[in-house]
Amino acid sequence: MAWDTYDKGNYDILTRRHDGDRWDAAHPLADTPKFEAHVTIACDAEDRLWAAWSESGTLWGKDDGFGLEHEGTRLYEWRTMGVAVLEDGQWREPIAALDSALPAGFPGDRNDSPTIQADGNGGIWVFFRRRNPRIKDIISDMYNFYAAWELWGVPYSGGAWGQPVYFPNSTGRLDVRSGFATAEDGGIIVAWPTDHRDWSEMLAEQSDVYVGNVPAVEMDGGHALQPRKQPTITVYPIHVNEAEDLARIRNYEIKSGGKTYKIYRGDTHRHTEFSMDGYNDGSLLQAYRYALDAASLDFYANSEHNFLGGPDVEYQDFLLQQFADNFHLPGRFVPLFAYERSVRYPNGHRNILFAKRGVRPFRVSVEEFGGRFPYASDELTKRFANPEPVGTKDLYAYLRENDGIAISHTSASNMGTDWRDNDPEVEPLVEIYQGDRVSAEYEGAPRAAIGSNPRSAPGGFRPAGFVWNAWAKGYKLGVQAASDHVSTHISYACTISEDASREGLLDAMRLRHSYGATDNIVLDYRLQAGDKEYLQGDIVTVSGPFQLSVRVIGTEPIRQIDIIKNQGFALTRQNLGREVSFEFTDTDPSEGESYYYVRVQQADGQLAWSSPIWVTSKQ
């Protein structure tokens, strides 16, 4: 048997043999610091074991995002395939690598999910999914987002790889399974799925299954093999103390008001190939593997666009929700049910979250776009548009009816909002930072856009959407950080909750007990007034003096901590150690309501933002 493991902090492939009585020890097949996973095995006519698997770069799923040096390997940045043969107790491999044997013009960096199969004549086939973009990657134009994956097969005999064989009507997602069996005549019978997406809109149309066969390979001199040599690769970890940092934040307890809270790290905004613009994000399975292993999250929400397909297709919505249940490990890993409702500025994109399964997406109306859907034909618009004119207030009613919440994101971009709407009951949070783009705190803030520099504003610059403007309007919005597309390992939604269940996490989000961070930073921020204590995100009325307490445990020394009051800096402390605790008393509290929040900047550039505490002071 063969499997992949994350025991060393990256995916490796191990094998183990059963001799009829017992299992022997596990032996490595591919165990370099690269991504090596998704292995399949098969025996040929000479009783040799063949294996094929997927490979990608080192530091898979680690730090990557807009404005950062390219440190980690993205989830679906590139893929190649490895092949090996167990002969006389030793792993060997074909002299010619499979990917190098593909013909010119056949891209070799997105061939994935290989399945190895022996035919009845001693030949070996490798079947795989090949990514076929509509136009070569040009991510600035939405028309070029589209891509589909197709099934191909390559035979091997006589020490050489043969010509790739294309399977017609095999367009679809990356992560679909085909079936293979040896026929009586020695050939291979293949059954493969398709969703019949076309090359104009690249959207799933109708799922179907086709069956065909390929002939047995004509053998010519056996197989030319050489000893398998794994490369020696030196990797310098980005976060040397990550295991200790994770243990510290998971073990941290906030005892307040007779209750004990813990910090649960998650991501409420990631896409996969199910989104129309997710062609560089990879499969749903990879997203969950990232969440469990590379990011070691406590909770996760896969949020595909329900605009032009995605969860608006009922079967796809079933798959997305089924995955959330399949990966649910209570007390260890909690997937939420979610999607992204994508409406252009000024109404804004929102991530929609539920603790319960089965709520269908609330479709976007044409009126919310001010006319026909962009990038869509009239037929497609009719297919996916809400048949009734609806707006944000209708969305809020839908959320109240279904016990859901909304989280606005990229608010200061063309996907954002001018904060014309808010219902604090169902929209308690905002994504203040996104790894794929920038901070939405205020213009010129750390990792935020500047209007005079378009390169700093991916997605466009809409200053009315900065979070400071929402707070100035009196909106009670706590904060999170999240990933969106491509970005990995640099944005965390840190939820402070008594309960790690789905219901408990959403209840904590409703109370705005939340902060955003780009690393595993502990940010414990509270308010004391008399004998009462409040957490970040709370709304408080006090008589007399009150005190803010801040405790930060960073992953590196802290460059600066700010307490920000009503768009002004009430306190700034600089050049601090890794662990900082202090109190702050506002000696000049304002009449009426004020909000106070904390921002942390580490020496290495990592950040954390607390949710505000809103204080109405009665003199």
- Show the tokens assigned to 207: 């799922």
- Between 276 and 397, where is the model more confident? 397
The share of the chain scoring above pLDDT 90, in percent, equals 81
> Same domain, yes or no, for 77 and 144?
yes
pLDDT recorded at residue 202:
72
Q: For the segment 26-80, what is each residue's pLDDT rounded down to a tens digit?
A: 999 999 999 999 999 999 888 899 999 999 999 999 999 998 876 899 999 999 9
CA 568 to the chain's CA centroid: 34
The share of the chain scoring above pLDDT 70, in percent, equals 96
Nearest alpha-carbon partner for 319 in 489, 486, 483, 172:
172
What's the rounded mean pLDDT across residues 349-357? 98
Q: Is a pLDDT exceeding 80 seen at residue 107?
A: no
Which pLDDT band, with edges at 50, 70 and 90, does 544 fall under?
confident
pLDDT recorded at residue 141:
40
Q: Is a pLDDT exceeding 70 seen at residue 405?
A: yes
> Same domain, yes or no, for 511 and 529?
no
Number of domains in the chain: 3
Specify if 614 maps to a domain. Answer: yes
Partnered with residue 335 across adjacent β-strands are 300
Residue 15 to residues 1, 35, 51, 312, 563: CA-CA distances in angstroms? 6, 16, 10, 41, 54
The C-alpha atoms of residue 229 and residue 474 are separated, in whole angstroms, by: 63
Specify if 251 maps to a domain. Answer: no
Specify if 414 maps to a domain. Answer: yes
> Same domain, yes or no, for 488 and 537?
no
Q: Is a pLDDT exceeding 60 seen at residue 551?
A: yes
> Same domain, yes or no, for 489 and 530?
no
pLDDT recorded at residue 133:
79
CB distance 124 to 50 below 8 Å: yes
Alpha helices (H) along 230-313:
242-251, 284-289
The C-alpha atoms of residue 29 and residue 116 are separated, in whole angstroms, by: 15
CB distance 13 to 81 below 8 Å: no
Q: Is a pLDDT exceeding 50 seen at residue 143?
A: no
> Same domain, yes or no, for 221 and 265?
no
pLDDT recorded at residue 30:
97
Which pLDDT band, with edges at 50, 70 and 90, does 279 fall under?
confident
CA 330 to the chain's CA centroid: 20
pLDDT recorded at residue 221:
63
Of all helices (H) and strands (E), which one includes residue 399?
Answer: helix 392-402
CB distance 219 to 122 below 8 Å: yes
Alpha helices (H) along 271-362:
284-289, 314-326
Specify if 311 maps to a domain. Answer: yes
Look up the pTM and report it: 0.95
> Same domain, yes or no, for 332 and 473?
yes
The C-alpha atoms of residue 594 and residue 340 are separated, in whole angstroms, by: 32
CB distance 151 to 178 below 8 Å: yes
pLDDT recorded at residue 591:
84
DSSP calls for 131-188: EEESSSS-TTSGGG--EEEEEEEEEEETTEE---EE-SS--B-SS---EEEE-TTS-E
Q: Is a pLDDT exceeding 50 seen at residue 280?
A: yes
Which pLDDT band, with edges at 50, 70 and 90, does 302 fall under?
very high
Residue labelled with tokens 């092949």: 83
Query: What's the domain range around 172?
Result: 2-227
> Same domain, yes or no, for 124 and 197?
yes
The C-alpha atoms of residue 502 and residue 330 are separated, in whole angstroms, by: 9
Nearest alpha-carbon partner for 95 in 222, 223, 217, 219:
223
> Same domain, yes or no, for 147 and 281?
no
Specify if 121 maps to a domain. Answer: yes
> Same domain, yes or no, for 264 and 280?
yes
CB distance 363 to 395 below 8 Å: no
Which pLDDT band, with edges at 50, 70 and 90, does 222 fall under?
low
Q: Region of 182 please: left (phi>0), alpha (psi -120 to 50) or beta.
A: beta
DSSP letter assigned to residue 290: I
pLDDT recorded at residue 56:
96
Q: What's the burial of 435, exposed, middle or buried (CB within 10 Å: 0-12/13-18/19+)?
A: buried
What's the rounded mean pLDDT across residues 538-564? 96
pLDDT recorded at residue 577:
95
Specify if 131 maps to a domain. Answer: yes
> Same domain, yes or no, for 500 and 537?
no
What's the rounded mean pLDDT across residues 526-551? 95
Q: Is a pLDDT exceeding 70 seen at residue 136?
A: no
CB distance 352 to 362 below 8 Å: yes
DSSP letter assigned to residue 465: G
Cis bond leading into 114, ω under 30°? no
Domain boundary among 498, 520, 542: 520
Specify if 153 maps to a domain. Answer: yes
Domain boundary among 505, 520, 535: 520
Burial of 480-508, coded b for 16+ CB within 10 Å and e otherwise, reads: bbbbbbbbbbbbbbbbbbeebebebbbbb
Specify if 358 maps to a domain. Answer: yes
The C-alpha atoms of residue 16 and residue 21 are separated, in whole angstroms, by: 13
Which pLDDT band, with edges at 50, 70 and 90, does 293 fall under?
very high
The C-alpha atoms of residue 455 and residue 444 are separated, in whole angstroms, by: 13
What's the rounded mean pLDDT across residues 487-511? 98
3-state SS class at 106: coil
What's the rounded mean pLDDT across residues 532-553? 96
- Backbone φ and ψ for 111, nearest 5 degrees, come out as -105, 125
Residue 494 to residues 200, 417, 609: CA-CA distances in angstroms? 40, 24, 10
Lowest mean pLDDT among 129-143, 155-169, 213-227: 129-143
Which pLDDT band, with edges at 50, 70 and 90, does 86 fall under?
very high
Strand order in the sheet with 34-43: 34-43, 49-58, 80-87, 90-94, 225-227
**Amino acid of residue 107:** P
What's the rounded mean pLDDT across residues 560-579? 97
pLDDT recorded at residue 71:
84
The C-alpha atoms of residue 542 and residue 45 are separated, in whole angstroms, by: 81
pLDDT recorded at residue 192:
98
Q: Is a pLDDT exceeding 80 seen at residue 144?
A: no
pLDDT recorded at residue 376:
79
pLDDT recorded at residue 135:
61
The C-alpha atoms of residue 457 and residue 451 are separated, in whole angstroms, by: 8
Which pLDDT band, with edges at 50, 70 and 90, does 410 fall under?
very high
- Show the tokens assigned to 309: 């397909």
Q: Is a pLDDT exceeding 90 seen at residue 571?
A: yes
- State the pairing for strand pair 429-434/405-408: parallel
Sign of CA dihedral 271, 275, 277, 279: positive
Q: Is a pLDDT exceeding 60 seen at residue 423?
A: yes
Question: What is the average pLDDT score of the chain?
Answer: 93
> Same domain, yes or no, for 433 and 541?
no
> Same domain, yes or no, for 425 and 527?
no
CATH of the domain at 536: 2.60.40.10
What's the rounded mean pLDDT across residues 392-416? 97
CATH of the domain at 436: 3.20.20.140
CA 434 to the chain's CA centroid: 11
Q: For the segment 15-36, what is each residue's pLDDT rounded down to a tens digit?
A: 999 999 999 999 999 999 999 9
